[in-house]
Amino acid sequence: MTSVTNNHYDIVIAGAGPAGLSFARALATSGLDIAVIEKSPEHILANPPQDGRDIALTHSSETIMKDLDIWAQIPKSSIGIIRHAQVLNGNSPYSLHFDHQDTDKDYLGHIIANDVIRKAAYDALSDFDNVDIICETEVTSVDTRASAASVTLSDDRVLHCSLVIAADSRFSTTRRKMGIAASMLDFGRVVIVCQMHHELPHNDTAYECFHYDKTLAVLPLPGNNSSIVLTLSAEHSQDVLKMDAETFNQDIAHRFDHRLGAMKLTSERHPYPLVAVYAKQFVTTRFALIGDAAVGMHPVTAHGFNLGLSGANTLAQEVRCALTHGEDIASASVLETYQSKHQRLSRPLYVGTNALVRLYTNDHLPARILRQAMLHLGNALPPVKRVIMDQLTKIETSST
Ligand SMILES: Cc1cc2nc3c(=O)[nH]c(=O)nc-3n(C[C@H](O)[C@H](O)[C@H](O)COP(=O)(O)OP(=O)(O)OC[C@H]3O[C@@H](n4cnc5c(N)ncnc54)[C@H](O)[C@@H]3O)c2cc1C
């Protein structure tokens, strides 16, 4: 898949992360010629290292991944199930509960390690000769005009195409090169993620514990294992990263009130600075942003990849529709339809998530009262709970 003699493609995608690969897979059966440009070496795409992220997936994402044959590449033993969720506020014994029995499904969602998703997306492309993945190469410039586009690579090669896609992360250099501004919200916090084994079963329950300036999420993995997501100030994150494993084990078990008994670190601890990003526009002439390059979410509501996958799927459907009608796959109408659908879906989730983060990391009295009131309101009013449950489980595709 890496040796390339062709310099003409229909679509060139910058970035072979989960969004770029999913978009390529969504169009792999269309017959279009696609190049995916990735700066990492191919052996990393084929066997990505663990990066500590365990991705909570909605029912809609599961459906899309099944349609794209990505789900079939994932070993069953790597898939965790979320049947219940609890939101806890500070030291209050009161919590907001979500249960799959309140829905028409057997579970609220699944949880799968990011490296497993990345490998599955890569493997799902292995049979397509019309998709070239060009590794250890970067996009150095993009030129898009009314009639065609071209992309210059770091090895000086120039690829000609109809449509250029940026899927090169929330700090997308391709977005910047195209002059598309993005609003960035630096929370001044770091999230530390890792996996832990524990004494007691989690009963497929996901926990989100808000302790004012720190939050702890404990998400159920297969067996007596959980994904730990600890959010804290940059200063405190250094102390936590430097802790020896035994001290860390005790610290997390204590923060979690020993609900799962003794806990033991089973992976490295990975720090991620928390910066949310929303691009001012998702498209311009023969160019579109997808995945985190369009919308980079705070991970607390676990929407990032779910949204990225939904957006990639929507754009692929618009491209297919144009192809079926013999129209330009990168026309303004194709791109603007994608933009308006994906903005309509992502904007409320982005704004809502950022507001939630501010509320739950603010230790002032009015915020504490409002938090507690929200938990009671959420439990007492079925319609409020239903809205939150829908957000947890669905993320409708922006195409609907
Ligand atoms: C701690 C944490 C927990 C998360 N949990 C969840 C969750 O539970 N649910 C959820 O839905 N989402 C979650 N997310 C978000 C999810 O991980 C991201 O939304 C998703 O990985 C974004 O995929 P992407 O392909 O857009 O970007 P990325 O994964 O950032 O991939 C970008 C790719 O582009 C390549 N690249 C970058 N620059 C260039 C260049 N110039 N040229 C060529 N290639 C380039 C990179 O090497 C990389 O392969 C979480 C994120 C974090 C940090």
User: How far is CA 106 from its chain centroid?
Assistant: 23
pTM of structure: 0.91
What residues have CB less than 8 Å from 230, skipping those under 6 apart? 191, 192, 193, 214, 215, 216, 217, 240, 252, 255
Instruction: Kindly report the CATH class assigned to 11-184+275-393.
Output: alpha beta
Instruction: Please give the DSSP secondary-structure letter assigned to residue 319.
Output: H
> What spacing in Å lies between the alpha carbon of 167 and ligand 1's midpoint?
9
The amino acid that residue 226 corresponds to is S
**Mutate which of 136, 303, 305, 349 to test ligand 1's pocket (most atoms within 8 Å of Cβ)?**
305
Domain ranges of the chain: 11-184+275-393
Residue 360 has a pLDDT of 60
Convert the pLDDT of each residue in 163-202 to its tens digit. Answer: 999 999 999 999 999 999 999 999 888 999 999 999 999 9
Convert the pLDDT of each residue in 340-353 to its tens digit. Answer: 999 999 999 899 88
Reading the block at residue 126, the tokens are 């292995």
Reading the block at residue 298, the tokens are 């705070």
CA distance 81 to 92: 27
> What spacing in Å lies between the alpha carbon of 17 and ligand 1's midpoint?
6
Q: Give which of 377, 378, 360 is closest to 300, Cα–Cα.
A: 360
Residue 283 has a pLDDT of 98
> What spacing in Å lies between the alpha carbon of 26 and ligand 1's midpoint?
18
Convert the pLDDT of each residue in 307-353 to its tens digit. Answer: 999 999 999 999 999 999 999 999 999 999 999 999 999 999 899 88
Q: What is the number of the ligand 1 atom nearest to the C-alpha of 307?
A: 11
Whether 137 shows a pLDDT value over 70: the answer reads: yes
For ligand 1, atom 53, name the residue with the nearest CA. 272
CB within 6 Å of ligand 1 — which residues? 14-20, 37-40, 53, 55-56, 114, 138-139, 167-169, 173, 191, 193, 272, 291-292, 299, 302-306, 308
Residue 352 has a pLDDT of 84
What residues have CB less than 8 Å from 327, skipping those under 6 apart? 334
Question: With bands split at pLDDT 50, 70 and 90, how would you rate the model's confidence at 2?
Answer: very low
What residues have CB less than 8 Å from 167, skipping those under 6 apart? 13, 14, 15, 16, 17, 19, 20, 23, 289, 290, 291, 293, 312
Whether 89 shows a pLDDT value over 90: the answer reads: no
Residue 376 has a pLDDT of 54
**Mutate which of 168, 267, 270, 353 to test ligand 1's pocket (most atoms within 8 Å of Cβ)?**
168
